[in-house]
């Protein structure tokens, strides 16, 4: 009996040791990608995607809320095992961290105040000309900041910790324009009113500015090939069976799954 109990205990311990506990870093200030609900829980597109990845790879995952510009540095020093926060894959970031295959590909947009000259821009070239010396707001540590710094050298760049701060300063007249993902703008424009904030120019992608990268992926610390392989397999499966398209319809109302 003692021997049987010991064998059972060892089996249970082995199962526990085999289970993977993963810490996921996110910046829950970017709805509908991720935000904190009234109950204090992290919710959103990325949360649902991340939870499904964890389910498919058999991992127990805990989510940690962190300012966006601290996510990748936190990943590099081992604070997180994964970062899932609408992180765009680009060469600069890929030098510092590894990425899964892309799970989403979201377009970007410039928003200005109603009546601004830039509001009449129809092409990316016209938009760039209209904003040549503008005061442009972006969230710190994003590809949007990289785009403005690379392609708007005469602009006055203002960086913010949260997207809502960009919208508020735009309404207040402290900046002339803001650049972020279209999906992040939508609830902000709706809340502040279409009579105050309007979209300017076309939707923007990596075809317009290479800094936008090649879609959004799960970031991992360099060198963890085993975990990356599992995440890649999960993401590929979720793309092929329509899971990510379904999740994006829930949160965005349209499909942003990487094609």
- The answer to whether residues 9 and 94 belong to one domain is yes
- The answer to whether residues 68 and 44 belong to one domain is yes
**Four-CA torsion 190, 194, 198, 203, nearest 10 degrees:** 50
Q: What is the pLDDT of residues 38-80, one digit of tens each?
A: 999 999 999 999 999 999 999 999 999 999 999 999 999 999 9
pLDDT higher for 62 or 16? 62
Looking at the structure of the chain, the number of domains it has is 2
- How far apart CA 147 and CA 9 sit, in angstroms, is 56
Q: How far is CA 24 from its chain centroid?
A: 13
- The answer to whether residues 187 and 96 belong to one domain is no
- The answer to whether residues 96 and 123 belong to one domain is no
- The answer to whether residues 112 and 208 belong to one domain is yes
Q: What is the mean pLDDT of the chain?
A: 91
- The answer to whether residues 232 and 147 belong to one domain is no
User: Could you tell me if residue 44 is inside a domain?
Assistant: yes
Q: Look up the domain containing 115 and give its range.
A: 108-212
CATH number at residue 81: 3.40.190.10
pTM value?
A: 0.75
User: Could you tell me if residue 258 is inside a domain?
Assistant: no
């Amino acid at each position: 009996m003692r021997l049987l109990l010991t064998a059972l205990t060892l089996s249970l311990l082995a199962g526990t040791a085999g289970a993977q506990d993963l810490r996921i870093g996110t910046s829950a200030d970017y709805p509908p990608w991720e935000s904190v609900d009234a109950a204090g829980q992290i919710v959103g597109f990325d949360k649902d995607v991340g939870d499904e990845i964890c389910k498919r790879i058999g991992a127990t995952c805990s989510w940690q809320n962190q300012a966006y510009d601290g996510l990748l540095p936190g990943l590099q020093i081992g604070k997180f095992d994964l970062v899932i926060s609408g992180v765009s894959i680009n060469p600069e970031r890929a030098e510092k961290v590894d990425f899964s295959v892309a799970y989403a590909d979201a377009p970007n947009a410039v928003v200005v105040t109603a009546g601004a000259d830039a509001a009449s821009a129809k092409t990316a070239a016209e938009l760039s000309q209209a904003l040549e010396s503008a005061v442009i707001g972006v969230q710190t540590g994003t590809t949007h900041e990289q785009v403005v710094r690379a392609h708007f050298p005469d602009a006055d760049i203002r960086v913010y910790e949260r997207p809502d701060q960009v919208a508020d300063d735009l309404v207040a007249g402290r900046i002339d324009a803001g650049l972020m993902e279209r999906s992040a703008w939508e609830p902000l424009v709706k809340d502040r009113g279409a009579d105050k904030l309007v979209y300017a120019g076309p939707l923007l992608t990596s075809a317009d500015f290479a800094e936008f990268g090649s879609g959004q992926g799960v970031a991992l610390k360099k060198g963890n090939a085993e975990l990356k392989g599992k995440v890649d397999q999960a993401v590929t499966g979720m793309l092929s069976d329509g899971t990510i398209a379904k999740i994006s319809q829930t949160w965005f109302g349209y499909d942003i799954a990487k094609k």
